[in-house]
Amino acid sequence: MANKQFDVIVIGGGPGGYIAAIRAAQLGFNVACIDEWKNGKGGPAPGGTCTNVGCIPSKALLQSSEHFDQAGHHFAEHGIKVEGLGLDLDKMLARKDQVVKQNNDGILYLFKKNKITFFHGRGSFVKAGEAGYEIKVAGAAEESIDGKHIIVATGSNARALPGAPFDEENILSNDGALRIGAVPKKLGLIGSGVIGLEMGSVWRRLGAEVTVLEALPTFLGAVDEQIAKEAKKAFDKQKLKIELGVKVGEIKSSKKGVSVAWTNAKGEAQTLEVDKLIVSIGRVPNTIGLNAEAVGLKLDERGAIAVDDDCKTSLPNVWAIGDVVRGPMLAHKAEEEGVAVAERIAGQHGHVNFNTVPWVIYTNPEIAWVGQTEQQLKAAGRAYKAGTFPFLANGRARALGDTTGMVKFLADAATDEILGVHIVGPQASELISEAVVAMEFKASAEDIARICHAHPSLSEATKEAALAVDKRTLNF
Ligand code: FAD
Ligand code: NAI
C-alpha cells in the first residue's frame, strides 16, 4: 500500500512543533504532526517539555507554593488570620497534573479543529525521495508516511553531571523535580540558572532547606547586574542559600540521600548532604532516534541541528526549530520559529526578531527583561542613558504589599531609542510585554513616558522608569 502523503510533516509536538503544524494548516497545507510523549496511561500527551515537564507544571507549582507562602507569612499583614495552615502535597501535585492534562487535551482538540493528522509515536527519517522524505512512525503500530516538507521540532533533554546520571528518585532532572512526593527536609540544586531558581523557590516555599551550588562566580550573569543584585537580596531574605563560584566534585547517592563533594569559592573542600538533588545545569538538543544520518542532516558542534537564520537545515525542504536548534531555549522562541517556518513554506516572509525575545524567571520577585543589559552596552562601547524606578514608590505595589524591585530602562544617548528594559518585581512577566512592543516598534523612552498609563497600576513604574531616563520622574 502506498504511504500517506502530506505537504508538511512536523516531528515533535512541543510548542515549536504543534504551533508550526497549526500555522501550516491555516495556510492550507495537508499537515501531519508526530509526537511520542506518553501520559501516565501510555496515551498521547502533546505539548512537549513545556506542557509536560516544563513551563506549565512549574508555573502551576510556583503558583500553589506562592499561595502557601502568602498564607503562612504575608496574610497576617493584611489582617487575615490563618489557623491550622497545612499542606496537602498530594493534592497540590494532582492539581498540577490536571493543569498539564487540560493543556494536552487542548492541543489534541486544536489538531482536530485544524484538520491536522496526529501520529502518536517516534518519527524518524527513512530516506529522501524525489517528491520529499519518507518518515517512519513507530508507535503502537508502525507505518511510513511521506512529506514534501519536514519540520524537525524534537526539543531538548536535561544535561546530567558526569558520573551522576538521573535516577529521578534521588538525582532529579526537571522531570523528577516536579513530582517529589514529600517535601524534602534538605534539597540540593546544582546550577542557579532559571530552573535552579524556579524549582528551588517551589520547594523552599513548601518548607525545604535549599542549597544551590553554582559554578559561576557571578549570580545570574546574563541578567542586568543591578537587577540580578536586587533579586539576590530577595532570595537571601527567603533563605534560598546560593553558593557561587563552586566546583562540584563526586556525587554519591544511597538510600539515605545524596552526598555532594564541592569546593567553595575560597577553594575549601565541603560536603553537602541532602535528601534529594536537582541537577539544573542546562539542556542539550535532542536528536535521539531521529535517524538524521539516514538523510545526511547536519548537526553543529553542540549536537543541535545546524540551521541558518531562516531555520533552513542542510537539506532542501527540511526545517528545524525550537530547542533543537541554536538560540534561547524558550517556548515562545520555538513558537515564533514555528510560525515563521510555516509561512516561509507558503512563500511568505515569516521573521523572528531575536533582539526582542523576552526572558522571564517566575520567582518571587519575578525577573524579566528584553534587549541589552547595561554591561553589554558598556562592553560594546555604546553611549546610553539609564533610568530606574523602584516599586517602593508605586501606589499599586504598596497596596499589593509587594514593593520589592524596580523597572530599569536603557536608551540610546543620542536617539533615545529603547535598547533594553529590565524588571525585577511584582508581575514583571506581564509588565515586560509593553517593553517588547515598544522595542519592536523602535520606540524611544520618551514615547513610553508620554503614554497615559492607568492609575494605580504597576505599569506606572514602567512609565516612570522611562521618565527617569531623562531624570524627570514624577513620583520619586
Ligand atoms: P519540546 O517542548 O521539548 O518538544 C519536543 C517534543 O518532541 C516532545 O514532545 C518530544 O517527546 C517530541 N519528540 C522528540 N523526538 C521525537 C521523535 N523522534 N518523534 C516524535 N516525537 C519526538 N520556556 C519558556 O518560555 N517559559 C517557561 O516558563 C519555561 N519553563 C520551563 C521550565 C522547565 C522546568 C523546563 C525544563 C523548561 C522550561 N522552558 C520554559 C523551556 C521550554 O520548555 C522549551 O524551550 C520548549 O519546550 C521548547 O519547545 P520545542 O517545541 O522546541 O521542544
Ligand atoms: P540555565 O542555563 O538557565 O542554568 C544553568 C546554570 O548551571 C548556569 O548558571 C551554569 O553556570 C550552571 N552550571 C553549569 N554547569 C555547572 C556545574 N557543573 N556545576 C555548577 N553549576 C553549573 O539552565 P537550566 O536552569 O537547566 O534551564 C535550562 C533552560 O530551560 C534555560 O536556559 C531556559 O532556556 C529554559 N527554562 C526557561 C524557563 C523560563 O523561561 N522561565 C524556566 C526554566 C527553564
214 in Cβ contact with 235 (< 8 Å): no
Q: What are 365's three cell numbers?
A: 520577585
For the chain, the helix, strand and coil percentages under 3-state DSSP, each to the nearest 5:
35, 30, 35
According to DSSP H, which parts of 381-427 are helical?
Answer: 395-400
CB distance 53 to ligand 2 below 6 Å: no
Residue 281 contacts residue 274 (beta carbons within 8 Å): no
- 134 contacts 49 by C-beta, under 8 angstroms: no
Q: Is 455 an active-site residue?
A: yes
Q: What is the number of helices (H) and of strands (E) in the chain?
A: 13, 21
Q: Which stretch of DSSP H or E encloses residue 343?
A: helix 331-345
Please, what is the Cα angle at 429 between 85 and 91, to 5 degrees? 30
**pLDDT for residue 1:** 76
- Which secondary-structure segment (H or E) carries 177? helix 174-177
| 81 burial type by CB count under 10 A (0-12 exposed, 13-18 middle, 19+ buried) | exposed
Burial class (CB in 10 A: 0-12, 13-18, 19+), 448: buried
How much is the pLDDT for 68?
Answer: 98
Q: Contact 366/62 with Cβ under 8 angstroms?
A: no
Pocket test for ligand 2, best of 178, 280, 357 (most atoms within 8 A of CB): 280
Task: For residue range 128-163, list pLDDT tens digits in order.
Answer: 988 899 999 999 999 999 999 999 999 999 999 999
Residue with CA closest to ligand 1 atom 28: 55
- 336 is an annotated ligand-binding site residue: no
Rounded Cα distance, 61 and 201, in Å: 10
279 lines ligand 2 (CB under 6 A): no
Rounded distance between C-alpha atoms, residue 350 and residue 337, angstroms? 8
**Cα distances (Å, whole numbers) of residue 195 to 191, 206, 419, 432:** 8, 17, 27, 20
Q: DSSP for 440-458?
A: HTT-BHHHHHTS---SS-T
What torsion do the CA atoms of 328, 330, 336, 337 make, to the nearest 10 degrees?
50
Q: Which domains does the chain have, with CATH numbers?
A: 4-155+286-346 (3.50.50.60), 160-281 (3.50.50.60), 358-469 (3.30.390.30)
Cα of 17 from ligand 1 centre, angstroms: 9
Strand ranges across the sheet with 418-425: 359-361, 366-371, 418-425, 406-412, 384-390
Could you tell me the sign of the dihedral formed by the alpha carbons of 36, 42, 46, 51, in that order?
A: negative
- pLDDT 10s digits, 251-303: 999 999 999 999 999 999 999 999 999 999 999 999 999 999 999 999 999 99
CA distance 418 to 436: 10
Cβ neighbours, 10 Å, residue 155: 27
CB atoms within 10 A of CB 268: 8
Ligand 2: centre distance to CA 228 (Å): 15
What crossing angle do the helices spanning 55-73 and 194-205 adopt, rounded to 10°? 40
The helix (H) or strand (E) run that includes residue 396 is helix 395-400
Question: Ligand 2: which of 61, 194, 201 to mutate, judged by most atoms within 8 Å of the beta carbon?
Answer: 194
User: Strand, coil or helix: what is 223?
Assistant: coil
Please tell me whether residue 254 adopts helix, strand or coil conformation.
Answer: strand
Q: Tell whether residue 69 is among the known ligand binding residues.
A: no
**Rounded distance between C-alpha atoms, residue 360 and residue 112, angstroms:** 32
* Grid coordinates given for 113: 479543529
Q: What ipTM, to 2 d.p.? A: 0.99
- Determine the Cα–Cα distance for residues 176 and 52; give it in Å rounded to an integer: 12
Nearest CA, atom 21, ligand 1? 35
Q: SS3 of 235, please?
A: helix
Q: Is 200 helix (H, G, I), strand (E, B) or coil?
A: helix
Cell of 180: 517529589
For 224-253, what is each residue's pLDDT tens digit?
Answer: 999 999 999 999 999 999 999 999 999 999
The cell numbers describing 448, all together, are: 513610553
pLDDT in tens, the chain (476 residues): 789 999 999 999 999 999 999 999 999 999 999 999 999 999 999 999 999 999 999 999 999 999 999 999 999 999 999 999 999 999 999 999 999 999 999 999 999 999 999 999 999 999 998 889 999 999 999 999 999 999 999 999 999 999 999 999 999 999 999 999 999 999 999 999 999 999 999 999 999 999 999 999 999 999 999 999 999 999 999 999 999 999 999 999 999 999 999 999 999 999 999 999 999 999 999 999 999 999 999 999 999 999 999 999 999 999 999 999 999 999 999 999 999 999 999 999 999 999 999 999 999 999 999 999 999 999 999 999 999 999 999 999 999 999 999 999 999 999 999 999 999 999 999 999 999 999 999 999 999 999 999 999 999 999 999 999 999 999 99
Counting ligands in written order, which one lies closest to the CA of residue 219? 2
